[in-house]
Amino acid sequence: MVYAFEIGDDLPDPPTRALVEADLADWKARLDRLIADICLWAEAFPGVVCERGSVAKIERKMQMVGLSKPVELPALLLHRLVTQSVRPLPVEQRTEHMVQQGLPGRIVRHEATLSITPDARWVVGTRGQVWIRSDKIFDTIADIGTPEQPDWRLIRRGDPEHLIPFTRDVLHDLLGRLQ
């Protein structure tokens, strides 16, 4: 980290272990609420299953105060069964099952996964950020709120609209993009 100060400025107090531990507890609680909301929202999207897990993280600020053991933070995998028509077949080449089901051709079913994992608590301008990743999606959710009121925002790479409020509809849009 780099800080710029004028001569005569008071330097901020260095972080204490107690403050960092309290901040980590708050971070974990905010992540737990975010993960619970995402699972609730995902239940309303057809074919999605939530798999809760955790990731071990250690950050520089933790090490500065003597915390050398990684902290376990909640993470999430959203699995979606994706059905795609790969290519239409001429009517005479369709099987009886295809005709009965009204299928235009060969159908492929596979599982697409969206992972939601904490990136870092101490990110300038935020109260922490979380990665959202799939094979075609790499976005970030950042909390720009206050200690009492988290305000999660989606940051899409290359999107001119910046800091989109992270809502149920935004999650459903991401799930719809899974291929």
Closest C-alpha among 53, 30, 7 to residue 149:
30
Report whether pLDDT(115) > 80.
yes
Amino acid at 38: I
CA angle (43 as vertex; 167, 165 as ends), nearest 5: 5
Rounded-to-integer distance, Cα 16 and Cα 8, Å? 23
Name the 3-class secondary structure at 40: helix
Name the 3-class secondary structure at 88: strand
User: What is the value of pTM for the model shown?
Assistant: 0.79
Position 136 confidence tier, pLDDT thresholds 50, 70, 90:
confident
Q: What is the mean pLDDT of residues 147-153?
A: 91
Which range among 72-76, 77-81, 96-100 shows the weakest confidence by mean pLDDT? 96-100
Q: What is the mean pLDDT of residues 117-146?
A: 93
Closest C-alpha among 102, 97, 27 to residue 61:
27
Q: Work out the mean pLDDT of the chain and round it to a whole number.
A: 86
% pLDDT > 90, the chain: 60
**How does pLDDT run across 17-55, given as a tens digit for each residue?**
999 999 999 999 999 999 999 999 999 998 899 999 999
- What is the strand order of the sheet 152-155 is part of? 48-57, 71-88, 105-120, 129-133, 138-143, 152-155, 164-165
**Can you give the pLDDT at residue 83?**
63
Amino acid at 117: T
Report whether pLDDT(107) > 90.
no
